[in-house]
Structures are given as structure tokens and as C-alpha cells.
Amino acid sequence: MKGQRYPRTERAQLAMMLEVVSYPKPGNVDRCHDYPDTRLEHFLASIISARRGLERAEEHDGRIGEIFRQIVADTSWHGGGNTHFGAFILLVPLVMGGDIEGACREIRQTTVADAIDFYRAFALTGVRLFETDELDVNSPDAIDMLCERKMTLLDVMRYSAPRDMVAREWTEGFPLTKRAARLLHQSGSGCGAIVRMFSRLLADELDTFIIKKHGAAVAEETRRRAREVLAGRGRLEELDDWCISRGVNPGSLADITIAGIYVALTEGWEWDSSGRG
């Protein structure tokens, strides 16, 4: 069944669901792996609880920042911590705009009010950006600074882009999301295709979430190991064990994977490999 069959809200939820159940996805929560404080059911609960915010995005009911804040508020109540913050940064404009072109249009229209909402949403999650300057979301003066400098949400993403590949999707027209969707179309159907796409991204890109948490050397080591696996030297499961045992979690590539699945579904990609779907 094609992606157009179901509304954008379900399509976004389906993309998040397919990403989290696909196995093995080195270093990330999947149907066979939990982290001690964040388990499969936290991810799935976050997907379910995102419904109202996604519906608002689908219906264009509010500014992008307002919707973002609602989704983060609705999905941050469980004990698993932030699970989909980066994914929502990508999905909200995609659901509002319908496709990448529409998402870019939404992004260009963001305002200072959207930037403030984004910061307030961030404060709800307890996520740290590991930045130390005056625009750190944990800085008490950050919101004053946004107003003073008249920074829109797109400006905030421009500011983060050098260090954050999710922000770069906003500023550069979703290049990796497009690539992820293309890879999916070339990789068959179902969760197997998602694993192949994710492995390819892992072998080609440096995950900025890993860089923030563990430094560039660990991100490079992860990419090198993923390349070895794709070259037939080593198994994906071993790379998964290596990542999990070190807490190396390619979370930004997981966010981009979700956005790529969403776009691919919109383009008619077949998620259901059982053939009847």
C-alpha cells in the first residue's frame, strides 16, 4: 500500500515505528536492544503521544515553533527521556509542507517566536547541546539573546549547522534525508531495506551526536567500522555490540533515517515486505 493511502500524521508515526523496530541498527534502540533508561516501549510511547502535535502540523494549526513545543511536551512525560527530539525537528516541517520542497518553504517562514518556542521546548527535554557559548539552550540569557539578535528558528539552525547534521538538513534543503529516501527505494522493502540504508549512511557520514558525546575520533572510528562491515569484513551485529558496549549511539543518523523513511513513504516506497501491503 502506498504512502499516500494514509494521512501524513500516520505516515510520520509509521516512519518512526519502522525505524525503531528495524534490526540490527548499530548503537541504537531496536526491537532487540534497550538502553538501561530508554527502552523500545519509550520510543513507541513517544510515537503514539506525538499524535496531536503531528495532527496540528498536518492541519497547519499553529506556527512551527508552537507545534514543536506541543509535541515535545506531549512526548517528554515518560521515563525514557528524550527519544525523538531530532526526528521531530525534521518531521514537523515535512508534515506541514507535505514534501521536502514544502518543508523548505515552511522553514524559510520561521520567526523569532518560533526560535523562542524551540528553546522552551528544548528546556522541557533536558537534552544538552554540549555548547558553552551564550546561545547554549541551557543558558538563562539565551532567549534574550535571540530577541536582541532577531534570530528566527532558521537562524538558530544556521548557528548550529556546523556542529549538528540535523540542523544542516534545515539549512541545506534536506540533502541526507533525500539520500536516505533514495537508498530506501534502491534497497527493496521492509525493515531489511531500512537496515541497509542506515548502514550505508553510517559508513559514509560522521554522526554529530556521537561527536558531541564522545568526540570526533570515536565518530570516525564508528564510520570506519561501518565501512569494514559493508566491505564484507565483519558483521553488523558485531558493530552493534561494539557501539552498545561503549554507549556509542548514532542518534542523528537515526533521526535522518526517520525523515528518509517518511519521504520514501510519501513517494510510494513499500514498507511491507510481506507483499500484500
Which one among 4, 60, 77, 237 touches a second copy, defined by CB under 8 A? Answer: 77
User: Count of residues binding a second copy (CB under 8 A)?
Assistant: 40
Cα–Cα distances (Å) from 159 to 30, 136, 155, 215, in that order, read 32, 11, 6, 20
Burial 83-112 (b: 16+ CB within 10 A, else e): bbbbbbbbbbbbbbbeebeebbebbebbbb
Least distance (Å) between residue 222 CB and a second copy: 25
Residue 56: how many CB atoms within 10 A of its CB?
19
Measure the CA–CA gap between 75 and 44, rounded to whole angstroms: 10
Shortest CB 70 distance to a second copy, Å = 13
Closest to a second copy by CB, 30 or 205: 30
Contacts with a second copy, 16-45, as mask; x by CB under 8 A: -xx--x---------xx----x-xxxx-xx
Q: Which of 37/148 has CB closer to a second copy?
A: 37
Asked whether the beta carbons of 190 and 273 are under 8 A apart, the reply is: yes
Residues 148-177 interacting with a second copy (rule: CB under 8 A): none
CA 19 remoteness from chain centre: 10
Q: Does 147 bind a second copy (CB under 8 A)?
A: no
Residues that bind a second copy (CB under 8 A): 1, 5-7, 9-10, 13-14, 17-18, 21, 31-32, 37, 39-42, 44-45, 47-49, 51-52, 74, 77-81, 190-191, 271-277
